[in-house]
Structure 1
C-alpha cells in the first residue's frame, strides 16, 4: 500500500504538478509532505498526518512552514560511558551499535 501511494505521489509530482500554476500555501508542498510522512511514519500515522495537512490546505487555512513531525517512537535510549547518562539514536544506529557490541 505504501509503495502504491508513493508511486501515485511521484506521478503527481512529475506529470500533473508541472502543468498547474504554483499556489501552495505551505512549505514543503503537500505532495512532498505526504511523501516524507509515508517514508518516516507507519502507514496509519502517515495517512492521518496527510489528511490533517490536506484539510488545512485551503483558502481559510493557515500558511507557512509545516514539516512532518519527528517519529519519536523510532528512537531509543542507549546508555553511554560519557558524562551524559544516555542519548537518542535511531533504529539504524542502535542496530549498528548492538552489532559492534556483539562482535567484541
Structure 2
C-alpha cells in the first residue's frame, strides 16, 4: 500500500514536470519534434499506462532519437497491460489500445473471466465523448 502511494506521488511529480515543460520551453520551439506524438506527449502517455522506470527509459530513448539523424514519423508508445473481467459496453473513449500482436486477442470473446497480459499501442482518440 505504501509503495503504491509513493509510486503515485512520483508519477504525479513527473507528470507535472512534463506539463510545465510543455507550457514553457516547448512553446519556444514550436514544431521541433520529429515524431507524432511529440516526445513530451509520448512521455505523458507512458507515465499514465506503464511503470515509472519503463516510462522514463522509453522516453529517454525517444528523446535521443529525436534529432536530424533519424527520419521521425509516427511512433506510438507500446505498453504491456493486463486485461481482466472485460465488459463490452458503451463508454467515453480517451485512448485506444491497439494490440501489438494479435495472437490471443480473439480469445477474449470466448473467455471473458480470464486474465490476459498483452502488449498494446496507445493511440489517443480524436473524438470527444458525449
* Counterpart contact for 2:46–2:79, Cα < 8 Å: no
* Counterpart contact for 1:30–1:54, Cα < 8 Å: yes
| Distance 1:89-1:32 versus aligned 2 partners, 3 A rule | farther
2:33 corresponding residue in structure 1: 24
**Structure 2: segments with no counterpart, 5+ residues:** 1-9, 87-108, 117-130
Give the SS at the match of 1:71.
strand
| Alignment pair present for 1:86 and 2:111 | yes
* Counterpart contact for 1:33–1:50, Cα < 8 Å: yes
Per the TM alignment, residue 59 of structure 1 is displaced from its structure 2 partner at its CA by 0.9
1:7 corresponding residue in structure 2: 16
Larger Cα-atom Rg:
1
Greater Cα shift, 15-24 or 4-13: 15-24
* Counterpart contact for 1:9–1:31, Cα < 8 Å: yes
| Alignment pair present for 1:47 and 2:90 | no
1:102 corresponding residue in structure 2: none
Distance in 2 of aligned mates of 1:20 and 1:45: 27
Displaced runs of 4+ in structure 1, greater than 4 A? 87-90
1:66 corresponding residue in structure 2: 75
* Counterpart contact for 1:77–1:86, Cα < 8 Å: no
Equivalent position to 2:44, from 35, 38, 46: 35
**1:2-52: CA deviation from partner (whole Å, max 9, x where unpaired):** 111111111011122112232211000000000000001011111111111
What is the root-mean-square deviation in Å for CA atoms of aligned residues?
2.4
When you count strand as a share of all residues, which structure comes out higher? 2
Distance in 2 of aligned mates of 1:86 and 1:29: 37
